[in-house]
Chain A
Amino acid sequence: GENVEQHPSTLSVQEGDSAVIKCTYSDSASNYFPWYKQELGKRPQLIIDIRSNVGEKKDQRIAVTLNKTAKHFSLHITETQPEDSAVYFCAARGDYKLSFGAGTTVTVRA
């Protein structure tokens, strides 16, 4: 099955700086890559996603890049704000099932 690895496990950034989270996946048949944000005590929420026919996607301060050849994808958050503090999960899917990374705890220091 699919195996998704996510790094780093924790990330502390100064407010206003950028944050980058990287994921690799194993199944070359995977064609959909969403990112979720989970705030403390809440359910995971989809924040951005990318499909395998696209190399990059941007939504305001958030962007995702995908390198299918290398089987890795990344989340970039620019101009970080305190409300960006959360756990972020990457995921990959080939058919029905999403396989998740272990998560990155992002802390934005004021």
Chain B
Amino acid sequence: DVKVTQSSRYLVKRTGEKVFLECVQDMDHENMFWYRQDPGLGLRLIYFSYDVKMKEKGDIPEGYSVSREKKERFSLILESASTNQTSMYLCASIPYPDRARGYTFGSGTRLTVV
């Protein structure tokens, strides 16, 4: 089974802090994604990466950045955390070129910004 591991299950950060959310997958997948999940809004794509050092903006990239220095690791960075970034963050991955398959999700990081 593919494993997508998110380093923290719960995080509490203060407004203005720089926050790093880490995601690691163990199946040599090329494509990795960061979503945030909010009640009534579903899952919204923040950023994705289709290769090392490559990144693309999703639907809601404002206030976020990403880093992919190694194939297995995709980091989401909140440059200056704000209360409206309190949410559940989900990482996912799929292989290439098998793009026509569903994602494997990590277990999620629930971030609270106070």
Partner among B41, B99, B106 whose Cβ is within 8 Å of the Cβ of A96:
B99
Contacts of B101 in A (CB 8 A): 49
User: B40 near A44 (CB under 8 angstroms)?
Assistant: no
Dominant SS at the B interface? loop
Q: Please classify how large the interface on chain A is, using the bins under 10, 10 to 19, 20 to 34, 35 or more.
A: 20 to 34
CA A45 to CA B1, docked complex, whole Å: 13
CA A9 to CA B35, docked complex, whole Å: 20
User: A34 near B102 (CB under 8 angstroms)?
Assistant: yes
Counting chain A CB atoms within 10 Å of each CB, which of B33, B40, B103 scores highest?
A: B103
CA A102 to CA B42, docked complex, whole Å: 4
Interface check B61, CB cutoff 8 A:
no
User: B50 near A89 (CB under 8 angstroms)?
Assistant: no
Interface check A95, CB cutoff 8 A:
yes
Contacts of A98 in B (CB 8 A): 33, 43, 45, 102-103
CA A46 to CA B108, docked complex, whole Å: 16
Interface 1/0s, chain B 82-114, versus A by CB < 8 A? 000000001000000001111101111000000
Q: Which residues of A contact B (CB under 8 A)?
A: 1, 4, 6, 9, 31-32, 34, 36, 42-46, 49, 51, 89, 91, 93, 95-103
Q: Which residues of B contact A (CB under 8 A)?
A: 31, 33, 35, 40-45, 48, 50, 56, 58-59, 90, 99-103, 105-108
